Amino acid sequence: MRVSVFTIAGVYFSAMAASQKLTKPPLQPNLDNLKQGLVNNLKLTQSTEERVKAGWMPKACKDIANEEGKKPADFQVWKVKYNDDSPESFDALVKTFGRLPVHTRDYVRHVVSVPSAKDYAYNSDANVVFFGNTLNNLNVHLHESAHSLDIQKAYSDKQLSTSAKWLGAYRQDSAVPDPYSQTNQVENVAQNTVVASFQKNVPGGFSKLNPNANKIKNQYSTVIAEQKAGGDLLIPGGKCRKRLPNSESVPVGGTGQTLAAATIESIGDKPDMSIQDTTLEVLPDVPFDTREACNGTAFT
């Protein structure tokens, strides 16, 4: 079994506006027709990779492994540094995530890939977990990272999905992007972020791709305006300027307090996973978890 974790670098939704199912009809059956345009126009950022010392992994990743019924010792842990300074099957994960704009990646802490016969993903405390083939799907990378942008308050309206501006844009439109957007406003914002990214980065944009794009225009235009105010969060280019703190390194087989001295000696000293660049703004933690809405939901 090959399981991958790399460091890049819950709020369970209590607001009724964010958690209620939406009744407006979907504009499209899914967002598959956006994939290739996004892949073609969000270029891969080059990176260097370093295997983390065997026997250690970030605590958040170990917790996820245990919650998903996997053995932490089965995970390969890597530190990946993209050439725009955002430090984070493994190759597919790195290459797909590396297409996200750096200021989107700023708001993701760790990325985890778990083998599964079903394709789904979720975001827990800015740790994005991919199951099955979703690690290859740029739409899913954008969608799950969009939860971080929304709930980690990257936008000027802080949590966009509960803001008056967002709910006003939703009321003005007659549809939502696809059936998954109907889940609640948190998922609707995430799917509209995929649409907004296509609109801003692909020649002609979504408004050319779908002749009925005006039915959701107020929603994706609001995301575009908010990402602009946040510092071009969905636009490639620039350097890493903010980071969530990496979770501490813990031994794969147990906690540092309970491991025997001989075991500690065998796996070596605890690796330093802290952010080394003192010029970066360290973002505050905002605990959240989207697995209730995402877990078991298949992506195509």
Confidence of residue 285 (pLDDT cuts 50, 70, 90): confident
Q: At what angle do helices 138-151 and 90-97 cross, to 10 degrees?
A: 60
| Residue that has been written with the tokens 């009809």 in this structure | 25
Contacts of residue 260, defined as CB under 8 A and 6 or more positions apart, other chains included, come to none
> Could you tell me how far CA 279 lies from the centroid of its own chain?
23
Strand partners, 121: 130
Q: CA–CA separation, 53 vs 49, rounded Å?
A: 13
Q: Which of 126-135, 141-150, 173-182, 252-261 has the lowest mean pLDDT?
A: 252-261
- Higher-confidence position of 263 and 159: 159
Q: Which of 6-15, 110-119, 182-191, 261-270 has the lowest mean pLDDT?
A: 6-15
Helical (H) or strand (E) element with 75: strand 75-82
Q: How far is CA 13 from CA 18, 214, 230, in A?
A: 7, 29, 23
What's the whole-model pTM score? 0.82
